[in-house]
Chains A and B, each alone.
Chain A
Amino acid sequence: MTSPGGQGGGALSTRGGAATKRMKWAIELSLGNSRSRSDRQSKDGDVMYPVGYSDKPVPDTSVQEADRNLVEKRCWDVALGPLKQIPMNLFIMYMSGNTISIFPIMMVCMMAWRPIQALMSMSATFKLLESSSQQWLQGLVYLIGNLLGSALAIYKCQSMGLLPTHSSDWLAFIEPPQRLEIMGGGMVM
């Protein structure tokens, strides 16, 4: 029943339902006393917004247009993220050492898992980079960064001896050879 345009004056004095009870004075500009009282009752919980306020967000169309460079920069950030992590990983690798215990193992797992996870969600990242003009280049950089990350993880596994690259790692799977001859005997009884 109310519209922001028609009730400009009234809004000044009657802000907030709680105030109605404590008011010292009031200016009633509308017609019909009895009517207005009931109207006010119905309006009681509502918020009175300031002039020019809209409670629906207004789509901002001007920003995209305004700074394309910012987008490019943001996309490059995403693309270079994995590469930037490599020095950090190297440091962690160096610090954690080659002993096999729970913390180095957890770190290596994290190191290996993160690039794999990123590679799995490659399409989502591509969607993110869609807006960029250098989308393919950025995608490639992102891919390379992740591959480097996983290579690093593999190198770490290798140096920790977790990769089954030696013949000793397959020793348990060698079946005992079948014997072709049956032999027996002993001392002459």
Chain B
Amino acid sequence: MAWLVVRLAITVSLLYTASAVFEDQVGKFDWRQQFIGKVRFALFDTHSQASKKLLVATDKNVFASLNSRTGDLFWRHVDKTGPEGHIDALLMYGQDAVVVVGNGRLLRSWETTVGGLKWEAVLDTGSFQAAALVGVQDFVKYVAVLKKSAISLHDLSSGSQIWVENLPDSDTVQYQTIYSGGNGLVFVLGFVPNSHIVIVEYKIEDGEIMKKKSVEAAWMSSLENSCAVISSGILLCVDQITQSLYTLPLQSAEQTEMRQIHLQTLDLEVASGFPPVLTSTQPNPAQPPLAEFFLQLSPDHHILLQLKDGLIAPLRDFNPSYLAAFATSGEKTVAAVMSPKNDTACSINLFSADTGRRHLDTTIIYHMDPNGGKPNRLYVHAFLKKDDSVGYRVMVQTEDLTLTFLQQPGRVVWMREEALADVVTMEMVDLPLTGTQAELEGEFGKKADGLLPMVLKRLSSQFILLQAWMAHLWKLFYDARKPRSSVKNEVTIDTLSRDEFNLQKMMVMVTASGKLFGIDSKSGTILWKQYLENIQPNSIFKLIVQRTTAHFPHPPQCTLLIKDKDTGLGSLYVFNPIFGKKSHISVPALPRPVLQTLLLPVIDQDYAKVLLLIDDQYKVTAFPSTKNVLQQLQDTASSIFFYLVDTSQGKLSGFRLRMDLSTELIWEVVIPTEVQKIVAVKGKRANEHVHSQGRVMGDRSVLYKYLNPNLLAVITESTDTHQERSFVGIFLIDGVTGRIVHEAVQRKARGPVHFVHSENWVVYVYWNSKFRRNEFSVLELFEGAELYNSTVFSSLDRPHPPQVLQQSYIFPAPISTLEATLTEKGITSRHLLVGLPSGNILSLPKMFLDPRRPEVVSEQSREENLIPYAPEMPIRTEWFINYNQTVSRVRGIYTAPSGLESTCLVVAYGLDIYQTRVFPSKQFDVLKDDYDYVLISSVLFGLFFATMISKRLAEVKLLNRAWR
């Protein structure tokens, strides 16, 4: 019976919280963009002429098929992260794409039209070296995989292993390449550095070693880029030091030495310090490669050469040229070369591979984005036109991971910004007011200059507003007559303005490649992008909004702190988040490594918040550092504190600012690193508002919340990972005084720990290694029935420790990230947004994570609307805010308040980006989407007319009565 009551109570409480999206709301205020990452392999499907497929494999372990006409994804397979899912090679033949995954662990064949897996073969262990298709008598039947110490041959149609052979002397010889020319033999090429090359010849049928020879090559240090097989099995190598080309026929028995051809005899020279690169092409794996090849001598110098009768002759010299690539269509092989045209554009031309002659009318002009990076990869799709001439399209990948697909004469067919697959941090910035609104705002900002001018100014601005309103009405009327599809107005940077509820914002995204994006949150359109050059791959970024749009006419201002992990030095990049323009504000030089930053609520005379940068000598640099700011800092220095967490020493230290911008250490907490290590520290979000200072109890008394704005949640994990002895610790530390407010230890638990620290609670998730399940734990802090000081909060004056309540729950899924919703005034109830590895985002009401949930239901707990305690946390599919729009590898969730108290803006980012709005307490402050305006207004008008008519009737009746 009691259980029934409990269930009933849960059901009733769920009725309040169930908030799924209706079918007709799909896509109304949410959008998703899917990305693939940096392309490592790209192959065009040349199987049929009309094919639109483009197969790509990326560094994010994604294997996908793109529509080459639109750039959309046909299908996408996201493999495991890290080396386990790393795609080593991509080969394509006909309808099949063969992929080697996980350092040669798996060999998979995919059907390319729908992306179905045809077969998968598990390979023997050993680090992957190379893979190649092997053909016999004009048919490609096999795929050969070369490992460090073995070679195996697999059937292309079934994946079954034909044979596997150990390589001779694999402990001394580095085998790196496979070559097969369709003559029943497979050649494996290896070398011993600075000594000799080893060529092993296998028979395709049974893997028997036909021949093994070693050739003297004392100059050789690497095989991979400097060697290629051309023209009926001739190994060609280039060496930078000797400035020579070397040739060797693979099959000849008599030649035991490589033939040296000095580059000087060809009037060529390799640029110093540049490893030369050889590029050959083998259009059909069952036939020998072409005799033509590219030799890259310097970053912008390619040359097309031909081997004919043992002689190497240059066909065409491309100087300057950035990129060159071969492409084959039917019997014709062409070479596309990208050369600089002027400062902002490159031209791509097509040349016939066998003669080096330029094809007429094949120029594609590629305009380089002034805010982007240089092109670094060129993929060419050649096709035969009706008149048998060769047409082509190209895909260019730039340093900032933009994929641009071009066709003649330079039309951009589509673009993909793959840098967005790796968003590091982001902020949402309010859009500026429209010109008219700003006009009105500006009027209040100006100084009064007499009564009459003020009145006139007011009148004129009101008139402008009226005009704008009339124009708006006219536009509405005009648009209403047009069909709905054509009305859809494009968002551009010029038409940007804040909407009435501030639901549309600018998403400023910082990506790992160093490219910044400004994205309209309503439509997902990229409004600006800026590539920061010379960013080290593992830099740390911190994005700070110093000035919002609220201070017209001062433009909003964002500051990006970029810290190079190797040198430790940081630099600041200041920009306008709405237009993406770099600000011309003088930025302080940072000669010493920056340890942390601190954004103060202190503003300078231009309304920019002051940013303090703490260097490794604990000296502070202020930005901006005007006289005004320094004066303010001196006044408030005694109340500015900061903390630093050094995970390597397990030390938390607190500092106080001195007048002269130096600091003094005031506290230190050491958590011994032998036992446990600090994994994460979080304070509270600066823009968080808490509306209610306490919780109402069943007896209508108040339990006041312990709202310490200086509280830090420190999570530690034990260094001992044995499942019986591992633990997760949580410390709540006051960041001003260093006092440990609370500590808790979760035994037999381990990370990764995800947690949220907000209001008076901390929610954290860990893995319980004893019961092998994920658990949620919630800590809530209360002051008690009395507030100690209701007007001011000072950490230095808190004599009473808070009451701490804790409860834990079982969560039936692993999680990848955790965040809490945030609203303007903090009146709306909170939800937790849980990113699941499945790509769903769960909106979990905080009321389920409430340590006051009673085990036994009482009158008072019912009065308080507390759900009875149940150890299992439910996951209901209606709570998935992104229904079927899953976000692959969700890494972070960003929440921002909107102008409506009920609405919180959510951006989930990972491999994909998903933006939506959530309404934790439903939309209590706006009319519903399906609100029946027609009914209401018709009833209103009906009543109005009924009143009018009955009034008239009553008058007539009264008059008649008076006459009687």
Chain A residues close to B by CB (< 8 Å): 161, 166-169, 171-172, 174-189
Q: Is the CB of B645 within 8 A of A188?
A: yes
Q: Can you report 12 A-B residue pairs in the complex whose CB atoms are below 8 A from each other? A: A171-B702, A174-B694, A174-B790, A178-B793, A179-B710, A182-B641, A184-B597, A184-B642, A185-B598, A185-B642, A186-B643, A188-B644
Q: Is the CB of A167 within 8 A of B641?
A: no
Give chain B nearest CB distance to A125 CB in angstroms.
Answer: 36
- Smallest CB gap from A184: residue in B: B598
Contacting residue for B636 out of A167, A175, A182, A184, CB 8 A: A182
Q: Is the CB of A183 within 8 A of B793?
A: no
Asked whether B11 is an interface residue with its Cβ less than 8 Å from the other chain, the reply is no
Q: Is the CB of A181 within 8 A of B792?
A: no
Interface SS of chain B: helix, strand, loop or mixed? strand
Known: A161-B700, A178-B792. A185 touches B596 (CB 8 A): yes
Chain B neighbourhood of A182, CB < 8 A: 600-602, 636, 639-641
Known: A183-B642, A183-B709. A177 touches B789 (CB 8 A): yes
Chain A neighbourhood of B601, CB < 8 A: 182
Give chain A nearest CB distance to B759 CB in angstroms.
Answer: 11
Give chain B nearest CB distance to A78 CB in angstroms.
Answer: 37
Tell me the bound Cα distance from A91 to B718 in angstroms: 68
- Smallest CB gap from A167: residue in B: B702
Tell me the bound Cα distance from A181 to B736 in angstroms: 8
CB 8 Å contact bits of B584-611 with A (1 = contact, 0 = none): 0000000000111111111000000000
Interface SS of chain A: helix, strand, loop or mixed? mixed
- Smallest CB gap from B684: residue in A: A183
Q: Is the CB of B646 within 8 A of A168?
A: no
- Smallest CB gap from B639: residue in A: A181
Interface residues of B in 604-658 (CB under 8 A from A): 614, 636, 639-647
Give chain B nearest CB distance to A130 CB in angstroms.
Answer: 39
Chain B neighbourhood of A174, CB < 8 A: 693-694, 787, 790
Chain A neighbourhood of B735, CB < 8 A: 183, 185
Asked whether B696 is an interface residue with its Cβ less than 8 Å from the other chain, the reply is yes
Chain B neighbourhood of A172, CB < 8 A: 691-692
Tell me the bound Cα distance from A185 to B644 in angstroms: 6
Interface residues of B in 690-734 (CB under 8 A from A): 690-694, 696-697, 700-702, 707, 709-710
Give chain B nearest CB distance to A176 CB in angstroms.
Answer: 6
Tell me the bound Cα distance from A176 to B707 in angstroms: 9
Q: Is the CB of B683 within 8 A of A184?
A: yes
Closest 4 CB pairs of A and B: A184-B598, A185-B642, A185-B643, A166-B700
Interface residues of B in 652-684 (CB under 8 A from A): 678, 680-681, 683
Give chain B nearest CB distance to A163 CB in angstroms.
Answer: 11
Chain B neighbourhood of A179, CB < 8 A: 709-710, 792-794
Asked whether B795 is an interface residue with its Cβ less than 8 Å from the other chain, the reply is yes
Tell me the bound Cα distance from A166 to B793 in angstroms: 24
Chain A neighbourhood of B563, CB < 8 A: 189
Q: Is the CB of A183 within 8 A of B596?
A: no
Chain B neighbourhood of A187, CB < 8 A: 596, 644-645, 647, 678, 680-681
- Smallest CB gap from B736: residue in A: A181
Give chain A nearest CB distance to B723 CB in angstroms.
Answer: 27
Q: Is the CB of A168 within 8 A of B700?
A: yes
Known: A166-B701, A178-B791, A183-B709. A188 touches B596 (CB 8 A): yes
Q: Is the CB of B645 within 8 A of A189?
A: no
Give chain B nearest CB distance to A86 CB in angstroms.
Answer: 28
Give chain A nearest CB distance to B636 CB in angstroms.
Answer: 7
Known contacts A168-B694, A168-B702, A181-B796, then 13 further A-B pairs from the complex at CB < 8 Å, ordered by chain A residue: A161-B700, A171-B694, A172-B691, A176-B693, A179-B709, A180-B794, A180-B796, A183-B710, A184-B683, A185-B642, A186-B681, A187-B681, A189-B570
CB 8 Å contact bits of B785-824 with A (1 = contact, 0 = none): 0010111111110000000000000000000000000000
Chain B neighbourhood of A176, CB < 8 A: 689-690, 693, 707
Q: Is the CB of A183 within 8 A of B643?
A: yes
Q: Is the CB of B736 within 8 A of A177?
A: no
Known: A171-B693, A177-B790, A183-B710. A189 touches B641 (CB 8 A): no
Give chain B nearest CB distance to A1 CB in angstroms.
Answer: 30
Residue from B640, B693, B795 whose CB has the most chain A CB atoms within 10 Å: B693
Chain A neighbourhood of B790, CB < 8 A: 174-175, 177
Chain A neighbourhood of B642, CB < 8 A: 183-185
Tell me the bound Cα distance from A181 to B643 in angstroms: 13
Tell me the bound Cα distance from A171 to B695 in angstroms: 9
- Smallest CB gap from B561: residue in A: A189
- Smallest CB gap from A166: residue in B: B700
Chain A neighbourhood of B692, CB < 8 A: 171-172
Chain A neighbourhood of B639, CB < 8 A: 180-182
Chain B neighbourhood of A161, CB < 8 A: 700
Tell me the bound Cα distance from A189 to B539 in angstroms: 10
Give chain A nearest CB distance to B877 CB in angstroms.
Answer: 35
Give chain A nearest CB distance to B593 CB in angstroms.
Answer: 8
Give chain A nearest CB distance to B456 CB in angstroms.
Answer: 40
Chain A neighbourhood of B678, CB < 8 A: 187
Known: A182-B641, A183-B709. A189 touches B594 (CB 8 A): yes
Q: Is the CB of B792 within 8 A of A168?
A: no
Give chain B nearest CB distance to A49 CB in angstroms.
Answer: 26
Q: Is the CB of A189 within 8 A of B792?
A: no
Asked whether B542 is an interface residue with its Cβ less than 8 Å from the other chain, the reply is yes
- Smallest CB gap from B568: residue in A: A189
Known: A166-B700, A168-B696, A171-B696. A184 touches B789 (CB 8 A): no
Chain A neighbourhood of B599, CB < 8 A: 184
Q: Is the CB of B795 within 8 A of A181?
A: yes
Give chain A nearest CB distance to B691 CB in angstroms.
Answer: 8
Tell me the bound Cα distance from A169 to B692 in angstroms: 12
Give chain A nearest CB distance to B964 CB in angstroms.
Answer: 17
Q: Is the CB of A177 within 8 A of B696?
A: no
Tell me the bound Cα distance from A162 to B715 in angstroms: 45
Tell me the bound Cα distance from A19 to B791 in angstroms: 96
Tell me the bound Cα distance from A139 to B689 in angstroms: 56
Chain A neighbourhood of B540, CB < 8 A: 189
Tell me the bound Cα distance from A166 to B692 in angstroms: 15
Q: Is the CB of B700 within 8 A of A180?
A: no
Q: Is the CB of B697 within 8 A of A168?
A: yes
